Structures are given as structure tokens and as C-alpha cells.
Chain A
Amino acid sequence: MTPALPHAGLIEASYRKKFVTHSVPGYHGCYLRVDLSTGSSARIALDESRLRRVLGGSGLGVDILLNEGAAEADPLSENAALAFVFSPLVGSPLTTSAKFAVVSKSPLTQRINDSLASSGFAIAGKKTGHDAIVLVGKAPRPSVLVIDDENVSLEPADELWGLANRAAQDRLRERLGADYQVATIGPAGERLVRFATISHDGRHAGRGGSGAVLGAKNIKAIAVRGSRRTEWAHPQELVALAKRLSEKSFGPATAKYRELGTATNLLAFNRLNVLPTRNFQQGSFAGAEAISPEQLSVARERTRSSCAACTIGCEHLYGLKNGDGSVRLEYENLFALGPMCGISDPETVLAACKLCDELGLDTISAGGTIAFAMECAERGYIDAPWLRFGDGTALIRALESIVSGDELGRLLAEGSRSMALEVGHNSIAFAPQVKGLEIPGYDPRGLQTMALGFAVGTRGADHNRSGAYEVDFSEAVDRRNVNTEAVPLAIETEDKAALMDSLILCKFLRGVFSDFFAEAAEMLRLVTGWDVTAAELRATAARIVTTKKQFNIRAGWTPAEDTLPERILHEALPEDARAQLSPTRLATLIEAYNRARGWTPAGYVMEDIRSL
């Protein structure tokens, strides 16, 4: 093993002996706090009442960050905190529970950011004996943080610096041993690209730039290994429930994910005119069929994979024709690097997805920012005549420039909001973002409950924190003329997402539950022994959403941020004149949302969140 850095911190032996956790089942009852500047680490106790209030994952993460003062700190400064957070369900036999949340202030939005990723890192990270790993400070040189049970050390990362994600992870496992689970940043995180990801085994904590936060701390990778399991309160009943849940996960509710993957949304969204195309200038794309998974699987190899401890297996990997392996394809990658940039060549889209994986770029923000730049180039606002919608070579060149740091790349690396402010010409009107986070593949004009979800979302425009599109895809609302009756339905999806992200369970499982809050309460009871009810979990979910809002208020949020780009509020979709959302209607929806949340009409949280 490479020798540890001189400043490497090991938990003091006396402390190690003294620290015996007597926690509630499912938890270790503490988090590990590593100060990278001093190389010291400490275990901080988490008491039961606190855990019950915020559970784990996103909920526990934002609670810890508020206590660390992260809301007020510059996310790329030494003062910033970043938390890897596990959950009571991690390591249990419940399907899709091998997940972790990465929580920090976003360098892209300057607001709360909680990104989730899956697989062995979650299980191994929790087995180190901690419910979360919190990093503060900055390592003096590029480093790998190694956590092996209670032993914490910083090792040099000089020979890993500059490597793409897969190469860095392979090299590190060779160095440390295959029993370590590793999360890395790619070159994008090293260069502080504001939408850089943290990657583990091909999956990414993708949105909001947590990779840049880690890069700013000089941490190329975190390697975890552990031997500490938590107990389950009712192990036999838990195993029986897990078996039933796994059986349900093989049913029709998840067939789409198993058989086709999320990319199959493309043609349906295209038909409904809600597929964002050429930077939201259109809602349908003539080249959609050519890049649809239905076509892609005719002409190339397709394999399936899944995260650890998952019985669904939604990951579909498509082979590249140039022999450069295969790449996971999700709807969001496909939309952002395809129609959003006007690209209909399947090989280019797959190559662009692969490049984002390796560099560590969030595909939605990368595609959205490049599409925005393409429109700026078309209008003559930037000097990049080669950057044209539909030009695959230009897309790849733009992606590479984001990490090369050339003049255009420097602009792109800041995301579309900052780029627009620098470019001028009121280009902010068509920058495809909310609070600085690029909008995912749902045109809000044709999906207006989702429009509300995007506008009020604490981490910006996001389809994983609000599932309000489900309301639009139902007969409960007129999706192109939504009124305040949609508000409680939108809140319900947001609360469900907050609970799933805190327990943590995969959202692709949601279709198998007939009463999610009640079934989640039963899972938590069997794991922890708490007499938790559906009503309590509804209150917990609402509290977690409010806690995120509180973080944002402390970070400087103002009501003016809860909006959508001018283009969305002033231009109807060319294919569908009814798909029009006025600023007045959006404002009415937002005010109703704020009141329903128990906040002020403008969206402030007046009461102390601790007393909620």
C-alpha cells in the first residue's frame, strides 16, 4: 500500500476504544467527520430522535449540512461540507436499497444539492460503521480518502489525477484490493466544472456539481471497506417482506424498466410534443425514431445490468460500433445529448454519453448548456460558428472543451445561467435552467404540474425531486391548462420522492406500492423497531422538504428564483398552441403551493424547522 501522507489522520486509539455505539437497529448512531485540512477525523453521535426525524439519505444529509453551516459557505471553498449519507435500509434485503446520497451546497445553483447513486459503495460505506461520511476542509494535495472500518487515511492521488473515471477506479482497486468500493471524480471534477459528477461503478451522483465540491477539496477518490453490520429489529419478518417486495418487482409495474429502460420514453414524449428539442425551441424532434432504443437495439448489441441488491435491473447498455465498449443509456442522457442539441445520429449520441461518463459530466447540464451555446452561436452572440444544432462533431468538440478549459469551455463549464449572464443580449431568457440547474427532458409548457415542480424545486429544475409529471400523465388534470387543484397532487409526488430519497429506495420501484407511505412505514418498523405510521412518514417527508427550503433561505434564496425561463412563460410550443403557460398562472400555482406547504405565500419558512 502506498504510504499515507504525513498529515494522514487516524482516529485516536483511545477514542476508538471508548466509542461503542448503542444505536437503534438499522443505524450505527454516528457519522464520521473528516477534516481534510488537518487530517483528523472524529465520530459524531446521532441520537435516535434526530434519526427518526430525518431518517437518512437526503433528509439526514441536509440536517447535518445545516449544522455544519454549509448553507452560508462557498461550496468550492475549504469551509464547504460534503456528506455521503447512507440510510437505515442500506444493507437490508429490501430490493433497490443499496443507495447513497451525496449532499452539499451546489456550486451550480448555490442552493441545496442532494444527488443519489447506487450500488456497492453504499453497502461498503455503511459497513465502515457510520451512517454518513462528512468531509470538510481541503487536502493539501491531490489525495484519495481511504476508510477501512474506523481507520481513516489520506493517500496520494498524483498518479490518478487526470484519469477518467473508469481508469481511476480500476487503478485504485488494483492498488488497494478488490474488496474496496470506490467513488471517483473525473477530469471535470478536478477542473471544478460546476456540473461535475461523482462516479461509482458507472453510476453517478450526477446533478448539481458534487464532483466539483470534491475536486475543490483535492479529493480524487474515496475508497471504503468495512465489516460492521447493523442489526434489524425484526429480521424474520423483514426477510419475508423483502421476498414479497422482490416478487412484486418482477411484475408489470416495472416491466418497462426491465425490458426497455427509461430511454423508451423518447418516442412517447415526442408524440405528446413534450420532448425538449433544440434548446426548447420545439417539443418534437424529426430524428427521434433514429435514436430511439427501439431502433438502437435492432442494429447493435444490448446488454442489461443492475445495481447491487436490485431485482429490477433497469440499466440497458448499448454497444458502440467503433468497438469502444458499451454505454448505459437513460432517457435523460438520450434527450439531452440528442434532441436537445438536434442530434439524430445514434453513434454520436452514444459516444457523447460515454464521454460524459468518463469525464464525469452531468449529461442533462452538459447537453442543456451546449444546446444553449448552440443557440447563442446561431444568433451570433458568441464567436463559435462551428457550434451548430445537429452537428455531432460539434457536440463532441464542445464536451471536450468543457474540460480542456479553452475560452468556450470555460464559459460552458459554468452552466447555462452563468454563461448567459456573461454572454448578455438577454440570453438568460432562453437559458434552459431553473435556479441554475438545467431542465430535464420534460417540456413544462405541455406538462404544467411538472412546471410547478420545476419552479419550486429546492435544487432547481428536477424530475427526481418532484414526480409531478405523473399527475400530468393522468386524467386528474388538463396538463396544458393546470389549475390549483393540481397543487396537492404535485406536493404528494414531492413528498414521496423526499421519503424515497431518505429511506433510501429506488424510484423505479414506486409503481409496485399500492399505499407507499403505509408500506414504507412497515419497512422502517421491521428495520428499526419504531412504531412508525404512514401519518408520521408523511409528516417526516414534508419536514425534509421544508428543511431543504430552510437551507436555501439561509443560502440566500428569494421568491424571484421560483420561476421558469422567459421562453417557457412567453412562447407557446410551435407544435401545440394550447401548450402555453403564462407567468400569472405559474405565480398562482406557486402561491397555492407555498400556502399548502404551510409557508408564507411568498415561500418563506417562518417557524423554526426544529419545532415542526
Chain B
Amino acid sequence: MFQERLSGVAMQVAVELFGIPRARAGVAQTSAAGSNLGDVLADLAQKFPPLAETCIDGRSLRAGFVVNLSADRFVTSPETPLAEGDTVLLLSLDAGG
């Protein structure tokens, strides 16, 4: 946040998309601006409007989708802070098959 204010440019995080999010966005990887999860999701929704229809509702995920940070922990709260170097993985929730 401090760095963001200093530079006036929002932090960019890497985003990887899987399953339906990838199909909707039409890309496997991208980047988005924000220092917390909600900001990043909102930025993604703006960049890829089909994502907003299925996967993202404002600054939150729609039911059936989850975010994992850097192949480590799953998070849902829009207020989850993101750090430099984090990768946001956007996934469909259900497994099975």
C-alpha cells in the first residue's frame, strides 16, 4: 500500500486462470492491479467482462469459484492483502470425475 501511494501506480500481481475462468477470459495468464484480492478481482472483471458474468461479482467470487494464492492457501475475502510476488490462481471449485 505504501509503495502504491509512493508511485501512484497500483501493484500488479500475476494471475493464472484455470477451467471456466480461463475459458471466459480467453487467456491462461494475465496480470491485474490491486493490493488486495477484491481490487484484483474487480480489475480482472473490468478487463475481461465475461469473467464478471460467471466468476466474479464486483470484488468477490461467485459461488463455485475459488482463489488460491501461489499454490499455497485458498482465500475468499476481498480484503485479503496481496504481497509483491503473489500469484493469484483463479479456479473452479468442484472436483470429481
Contacts and interface: CB of A to CB of B under 8 A. Distances in A.
Interface of A: 252-253, 255-257, 259-265, 267-268, 271-273, 294, 330-332, 442, 463-464, 467, 469-470, 473-475, 478-479, 507-508, 510-511, 576
B80 to A, nearest CB: 9
B75 A475 contact: yes
A461 to B, nearest CB: 15
Contact of A259 (B23, B62, B71): B23
Interface residues of B, number: 26
Contact of A473 (B62, B71, B93): B93
B97 to A, nearest CB: 3
Nearest to B74: A475
Contacts of A260: 19-20, 23
Nearest to B18: A268
B63 A255 contact: no
B66 interface: yes
Contact of A510 (B16, B62, B94): B94
B35 to A, nearest CB: 19
B85 interface: no
Given A255-B20, A470-B95, A475-B73, 15 more contacts: A252-B55, A259-B20, A262-B96, A264-B18, A264-B19, A264-B20, A271-B16, A271-B18, A271-B89, A442-B95, A473-B74, A474-B66, A475-B75, A508-B94, A510-B94
Interface of B: 16, 18-20, 22-23, 54-55, 62-64, 66, 68, 71, 73-76, 89, 91-97
A253 B64 contact: yes
List the 8 closest A-B pairs by CB distance, nearest first. A262-B97, A331-B97, A268-B18, A256-B92, A330-B97, A264-B19, A253-B64, A475-B74
Contacts of B71: 271-273, 576
Contact of B95 (A252, A265, A479): A265
A478 B68 CA distance: 12
B97 A478 contact: no
A331 B76 contact: no
A475 B76 CA distance: 7
A507 B96 contact: yes
6 contacts: A256-B94, A262-B96, A265-B97, A272-B71, A510-B94, A511-B93
Contacts of B23: 259-260
A511 B93 CA distance: 9
Secondary structure dominating the interface of A? helix
B26 to A, nearest CB: 11
B63 A252 contact: yes
A469 B62 contact: no
A478 B73 contact: yes
A474 to B, nearest CB: 6
A368 to B, nearest CB: 16
A272 B96 contact: no
Nearest to A510: B94
Contacts of A259: 20, 23
A576 B68 CA distance: 15
Contact of A256 (B20, B62, B73, B76): B20
Contacts of B68: 272
Contacts of A576: 71
A341 B96 CA distance: 20
Given A264-B19, A267-B18, A271-B18, A469 B97 contact: no
Nearest to A506: B96
A514 to B, nearest CB: 9
A474 B61 CA distance: 13
Contacts of A473: 66, 74, 91, 93, 95
A474 B74 contact: yes
B63 to A, nearest CB: 6
Nearest to A265: B95
Contacts of B18: 264, 267-268, 271
Contact of A268 (B73, B91, B97): B91
Nearest to B68: A272
Given A265-B97, A268-B91, A511-B93, A294 B22 contact: yes
B64 A256 contact: yes
Given A255-B20, A473-B74, A511 B97 contact: no
